């Protein structure tokens, strides 16, 4: 089988899923401002929300990350992918599984697991796909032709091992007949939090650890910081699930443990961030921000700083009293999964797609425009969710406000979320068009180079 077929399949289908995910997101946002739109069963707000999160997590982000890593890993390890056939088989099975799972969600056949609504047998098939991915990753590392394992490889190995347990705990063990009540909730939140923390964080960071030095043509800033970041995160992250239940019906000691470890997360995050910014700072000044890839990597890192500073502080009891259960949380989750990790994934696709197609990116300028539109829209998008969340949190403190009054106070925030979200949605099409043209379009590279020289003169 032709080399990199697996990477290509997964990257292209992930780009398509991304569009559906954003469509669901914009429809959900629209429902908050004009609730009568599409008032039918299959388009009710909770169904749209479940589709939005699941398409984003599994259809887009996880699939994009796996596709990019299928390309990156053989390059770092100076070898071929362990089994291209296994990779393609997994890609096909994975896409069919996700589509099946999404149909079930639309019909209302779901599990009570946030981020894991996909019901059996499809969630078991996701686990099967994951094991196939694991075999391919470990196999590729085993047949490597270099001695040392680079940071990207550590994070990928960590992610495939951790995720196997996290996914099984959250989706299968939590549904066992003996599980109920707050015990079940504890397992589910273990999954929900670690889905972000031990699936998307390590995969996203792995991609960034490869792309940043490669794109800037600069060695990574500090090897020691990479080690601190990796080993501390593998110990610290997993403890934090219970911080979703602060003040709630779960053991007080468990909440306190999760707060302590949530706060400790500042250590690995700062190590990673310092390393990324350090690499940017030491890169040649003139060209370090040319084109969409370094811009997306830089902005993704900035969002990563913000989201990872919010996290530890939100976990403090007094802060949590205001922010928890409000729109703030939605803003926080969007900045992690959209702001940080989707930006890394988009940078990865901009980097890998031309290599897969064997020619230059269709249009760097369009890539820049996509970046600026998305970034300038996403900043107010996140901000308005936090501001709305804080307003809501304080409004709830006063028992004089009826609940609907506290909701009415958010009308402007919800309009703002919809309109900025619409810009994000629009800029996605620039990204999609650019990537599809790079793969399938007919364009002559020379013409573009000529145009650039003319413009330069």
Partner 1 sequence: MKIDVEKSLLWTATGAFLLFAVGAALTTIVPPMVSPEMWKSDYPVHEYTEQEQRGIQIYLSEGCVYCHTQQIRHLDSDKRRYGWRLVDAPESESWEYVNDRINFLGTKRTGPDLARVGGKYSSEWHWAHFKDPRNMGEKFPNRKGVYEKVSIMPSFDYLTDEEIKDLTAYIQTLGRNKNWRVDKDGNPLNDYEK
Min separation Cβ 397 and partner 1, Å: 5
Min separation Cβ 82 and partner 1, Å: 12
Separation between Cα atoms, residue 22 and residue 158, nearest integer Å: 29
Q: Which of 355, 362, 361, 371 is nearest to 72 (CA)?
A: 355
Q: Which is nearer to partner 1, 182 or 218 (CB)?
A: 182
Min separation Cβ 344 and partner 1, Å: 20
Residues in the chain: 457
Name every residue whose Cβ is closer than 8 Å to that of residue 135 and which is 6 or more positions away in sequence.
Answer: 82, 83, 86
Q: What share of the chain is helix, strand, coil (3-state, %, to 5)?
A: 80, 0, 20
Q: Estimate to the nearest angstrom the gap between the alpha carbon of 392 and the chain centroid.
A: 26
Min separation Cβ 253 and partner 1, Å: 8
Tokens of 315: 């976990």
Q: Which is nearer to partner 1, 325 or 355 (CB)?
A: 325
Separation between Cα atoms, residue 5 and residue 378, nearest integer Å: 33
Min separation Cβ 338 and partner 1, Å: 17
Min separation Cβ 3 and partner 1, Å: 22
Min separation Cβ 25 and partner 1, Å: 14
Min separation Cβ 235 and partner 1, Å: 4
Q: Which of 265, 339, 269 is nearest to 298 (CA)?
A: 339
Min separation Cβ 251 and partner 1, Å: 4
Residue 200 per-residue DSSP state? I
Q: Which is nearer to partner 1, 161 or 270 (CB)?
A: 161
Q: Which is nearer to partner 1, 114 or 448 (CB)?
A: 114
Q: Which is nearer to partner 1, 162 or 371 (CB)?
A: 162
Min separation Cβ 204 and partner 1, Å: 17
Q: Which is nearer to partner 1, 242 or 377 (CB)?
A: 242
Separation between Cα atoms, residue 444 and residue 101, nearest integer Å: 41
Burial class for 148, CB neighbours closer than 10 Å (0-12, 13-18, 19+): exposed
313-320: list long-range contacts, CB under 8 Å, 24+ apart: 314/243, 314/262, 315/240, 315/243, 315/246, 315/258, 315/259, 315/262, 315/263, 316/259, 316/263, 317/246, 317/247, 317/259, 320/243, 320/246, 320/247
Q: Which is nearer to partner 1, 264 or 434 (CB)?
A: 264
Q: Which is nearer to partner 1, 5 or 184 (CB)?
A: 184
Q: Which is nearer to partner 1, 367 or 389 (CB)?
A: 389
Angle between helices 151-171 and 122-142 (to 10 degrees): 160
Min separation Cβ 316 and partner 1, Å: 14
Separation of first and last alpha carbons in the chain: 46
Tokens of 104: 């079930």
> What is the secondary structure of 109-162 as a DSSP string?
---S-TT--PPTTHHHHHHHHHHHHHHHHHHHHHT-SSSSPPHHHHHHHHHHHH
Q: Which is nearer to partner 1, 49 or 295 (CB)?
A: 49
Q: Which is nearer to partner 1, 89 or 138 (CB)?
A: 138
């Amino acid at each position: 089988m032709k080399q990199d077929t697996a990477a290509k399949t997964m990257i292209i289908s992930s780009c398509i899923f991304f569009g559906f995910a954003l469509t669901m997101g914009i429809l959900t946002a629209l429902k908050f401002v004009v609730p009568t739109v599409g008032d039918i069963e299959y388009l009710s707000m909770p169904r749209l929300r479940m589709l939005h999160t699941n398409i984003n997590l599994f259809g887009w982000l996880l699939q994009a990350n796996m596709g990019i890593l299928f390309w990156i890993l053989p390059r770092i390890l100076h070898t071929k992918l362990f089994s291209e056939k296994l990779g393609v088989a997994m890609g096909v099975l994975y896409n069919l599984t996700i589509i099946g799972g999404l149909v079930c969600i639309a019909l209302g056949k779901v599990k009570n697991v946030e981020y894991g609504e996909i019901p059996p047998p499809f969630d078991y098939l996701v686990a099967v796909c994951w094991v196939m991915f694991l075999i391919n990753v470990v196999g590729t590392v085993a047949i490597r032709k270099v001695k040392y394992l680079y940071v990207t490889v550590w994070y990928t190995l960590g992610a495939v091992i951790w995720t196997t347990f996290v996914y099984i705990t959250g989706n299968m063990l939590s549904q066992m007949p003996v599980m109920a009540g707050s015990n079940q909730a504890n397992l589910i939140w273990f999954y929900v939090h670690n889905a972000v923390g031990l699936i998307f964080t390590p995969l996203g960071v792995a991609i960034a650890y490869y792309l940043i030095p490669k794109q800037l043509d600069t060695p990574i800033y500090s090897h020691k910081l990479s080690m601190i970041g990796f080993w501390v995160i593998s110990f610290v992250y997993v403890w934090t699930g219970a911080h979703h239940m602060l003040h709630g019906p779960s053991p007080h000691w468990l909440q306190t443990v999760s707060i302590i470890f949530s706060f400790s997360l500042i250590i690995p995050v700062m190590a990673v961030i310092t390393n990324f910014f350090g690499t940017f700072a030491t890169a040649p000044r003139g060209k370090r921000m040319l084109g969409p890839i370094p811009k997306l990597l830089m902005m993704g890192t900035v969002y990563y700083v913000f989201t990872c500073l919010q996290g530890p502080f939100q976990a403090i009891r007094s802060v949590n009293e205001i922010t928890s259960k409000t729109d703030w949380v939605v803003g926080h989750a969007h900045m992690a999964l959209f702001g940080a990790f989707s930006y890394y994934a988009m940078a990865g696709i901009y980097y890998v797609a031309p290599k897969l197609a064997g020619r230059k990116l269709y249009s760097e300028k369009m890539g820049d425009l996509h970046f600026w539109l998305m970034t300038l829209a996403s900043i107010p998008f996140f901000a308005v969710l936090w501001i709305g969340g804080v307003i809501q949190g304080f409004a709830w403190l006063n028992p004089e406000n009826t609940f609907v009054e506290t909701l009415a106070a958010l009308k402007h925030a919800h309009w703002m979320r919809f309109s900025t979200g619409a810009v994000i949605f629009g800029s996605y099409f620039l990204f999609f068009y650019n990537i599809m043209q790079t793969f399938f379009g007919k364009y002559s590279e020379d013409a573009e180079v000529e145009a650039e020289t003319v413009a330069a003169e």
